[in-house]
């Protein structure tokens, strides 16, 4: 997969059940891994400039649980939790994720997030693959609030991605 310039996250939809996000970091991967797996550091970036992370619990072992809670600027509290499935220090994190505020009919639906860190010349290519249980869940993640029925347009978007750039 092509990687864009360093300051830009790039999203692609390679299959109906996947979301893939890539970004490059100008730092070795062990630092990205540390920032990704240390609770106090997670609190500093997970908010995505849209609120405050109030809870970041990480039991960093296979089978261990994680939970993040964020309070958005508009006052909503949203929680995410899951379990680590696979951990390769500095290289790979596979974990499940449940969005605690998922709308009907998706409460409790679980996605599997795979973060891969590839280091090239001291830079890190970060890739997140969000594997969803269904196209509906995937679209709901992207959609968050738009009316139903438009999700199929994503099929089109995948095929037309080049003409849209």
Partner 1 sequence: MARAATTADAFNAVAEPRRRQILDALAGGERPVNELVRVLGLAQPQVSKHLRVLREVGAVDVRENGRQRLYRLDGRALKPIHDWVKAYERAWADRLDELDAVVQELENEEEGRGSDE
Of the two residues 109 and 143, which places its CB atom closer to partner 1 in the complex? 143
Torsions phi, psi for 92 (to 5 deg): -155, 135
Cβ neighbors of 23 (< 8 A, separation 6 or more) are: 6, 8, 9, 10, 125, 126
Instruction: Name the minimum Å distance from CB 113 to partner 1.
Output: 12
The candidate with the shortest Cα–Cα distance to 25, out of 129, 128, 126, 93, is 126
Q: Which residues make up the interface to partner 1 (CB under 8 A)? A: 7-11, 13, 19, 21, 23, 25-28, 30-32, 34-36, 41, 44-50, 126, 128, 141-144, 146, 149-150, 152-157, 159-160, 163-164
Of the two residues 45 and 103, which places its CB atom closer to partner 1 in the complex? 45
Instruction: Name the minimum Å distance from CB 45 to partner 1.
Output: 4
Instruction: Name the minimum Å distance from CB 13 to partner 1.
Output: 8
Of the two residues 54 and 62, which places its CB atom closer to partner 1 in the complex? 54
Stretch (H or E) spanning 87: strand 77-88
Instruction: Name the minimum Å distance from CB 9 to partner 1.
Output: 4
In whole angstroms, what is the distance from residue 13 CA to residue 75 CA?
A: 31
Taking residue 117's Cβ as centre, other Cβ atoms within 10 Å add up to: 22
């Amino acid at each position: 997969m092509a990687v864009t310039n360093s300051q830009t996250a790039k999203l692609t939809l390679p299959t109906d059940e996947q979301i893939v996000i890539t970004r490059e970091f100008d730092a070795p991967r062990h630092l990205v891994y540390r920032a990704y797996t240390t609770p106090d550091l997670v609190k500093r970036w997970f908010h995505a400039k849209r609120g405050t992370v109030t809870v970041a619990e990480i039991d960093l072992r296979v089978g261990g649980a994680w939970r993040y809670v964020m309070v958005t600027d508009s006052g909503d509290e949203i929680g995410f939790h899951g379990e680590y499935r696979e951990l390769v220090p500095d290289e790979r994190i596979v974990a499940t994720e449940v969005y605690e505020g998922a709308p009907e009919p998706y409460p409790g639906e679980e996605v599997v997030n795979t973060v891969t860190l590839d280091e090239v010349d001291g830079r890190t290519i970060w890739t997140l693959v969000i594997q969803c249980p269904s196209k509906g869940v995937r679209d709901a993640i992207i959609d968050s609030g738009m009316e139903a029925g438009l999700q199929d347009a994503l099929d089109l978007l995948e095929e037309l991605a080049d003409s849209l750039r």
